[in-house]
Amino acid sequence: MDKQYTPPDVWTHDAENGGKWASINRPVSGATHEKALPVGKHPLQLYSMGTPNGQKVTIMLEELLALGKDAEYDAHMIKIGEGDQFSSGFVAVNPNSKIPALLDHSFEEPLAVFESASILVYLAEKFDVLLPKDVIKHTQVTNWLMWLHGSAPYLGGGFGHFYSYAPEKFEYPINRFTMEIKRQLDVLDKQLAKNEFLAGDELSIADIATWPWYGNLVLGNLYDAKDFLQVDDYSHVQRWAKAILARPSVQRGRIVNRDWGEAWEHLENRHSAEDIDKILALKPT
């Protein structure tokens, strides 16, 4: 049994007892230091890190480029472990201090877009792809996009935290979030048993949002929990996850704003297609 915890009458922040992220987590918002954000040469300026939420947007941008859209972008690394997201420049773009955040300089005043789902919808509408106009298909895509946006915090903030990052392992929260994540994988598996992609027979922003979380998870690229979660049981998710990973745009987008993994898996900052080409050229054949 876990050690019994009795909540105090009034909660206070204990920065010494929060595990790996204790030094940067805090119960208030706003900037901790003054620092301007870098700005590259393209209208689209992304400030992010290659976590699942960050991968959503870089994969989307690479898909847009593959479709021939004028979506060239600069992607600047925001090292959340070092508190870059609390700089004055980043907070001005996203007051919630979470990656990813996008600035579109194609307007007279740069337009700030934050929350990954909002960025995906914005880019899909701006470039008129990956989000159908037909009301039925549009709704099916947004249903699954919002399902992911509502469910992924369980995985990232719940299962991932207690299984991988918490300073101690506690049975109750691990069991609670494991049950939830397996239920979500079952929902996904049943949907993909009926459809090639999440919202039907065409790739959409729902797939781009979902793959970095659940695709990475079942392929063993997240939390090293394949055996624990018995991910091979979800055969339709496995089929879909492998098919999405095979897309060149996904292989390109997943490595951007990363500084971990193999040499061919990380590129801290991206300013041109050649930046990605050079890194992928290091991949063993």
Q: Rounded to an integer, what distance in angstroms lies between the CA atom of residue 133 and that of residue 140?
A: 11
Q: Which residues contact 97 (CB under 8 A, 6 or more apart)?
A: 29, 85, 86, 90, 91
Q: Rounded to an integer, what distance in angstroms lies between the CA atom of residue 229 and that of residue 21?
A: 25
Indicate if the pLDDT at residue 187 is higher than 90.
yes
| CA atoms within a 13 Å half-sphere pointing along the CA-CB vector of 247 | 21
Q: Strand, coil or helix: what is 228?
A: helix
DSSP alpha helix (H) spans, the chain: 52-66, 88-93, 116-127, 135-153, 160, 171-194, 205-210, 216-218, 226-229, 235-245, 248-253, 273-280
Element (H, E) at 266: none
Q: What is the pLDDT of residue 167?
A: 86
* pTM of structure: 0.96
Pick the more confident residue, 167 or 147: 147
Q: Which residues contact 7 (CB under 8 A, 6 or more apart)?
A: none
Q: What is the pLDDT of residue 252?
A: 98
Domains of the chain are 135-247 (1.20.1050.10)
Q: Rounded to an integer, what distance in angstroms lies between the CA atom of residue 125 and that of residue 71?
A: 13
pLDDT one-digit tens code per residue, 14-68? 876 666 666 678 899 999 999 999 999 999 999 999 999 999 999 999 999 999 9
**Please, what is the average pLDDT of the chain?**
95
Of all residues in the chain, the percent with pLDDT exceeding 90 is: 89
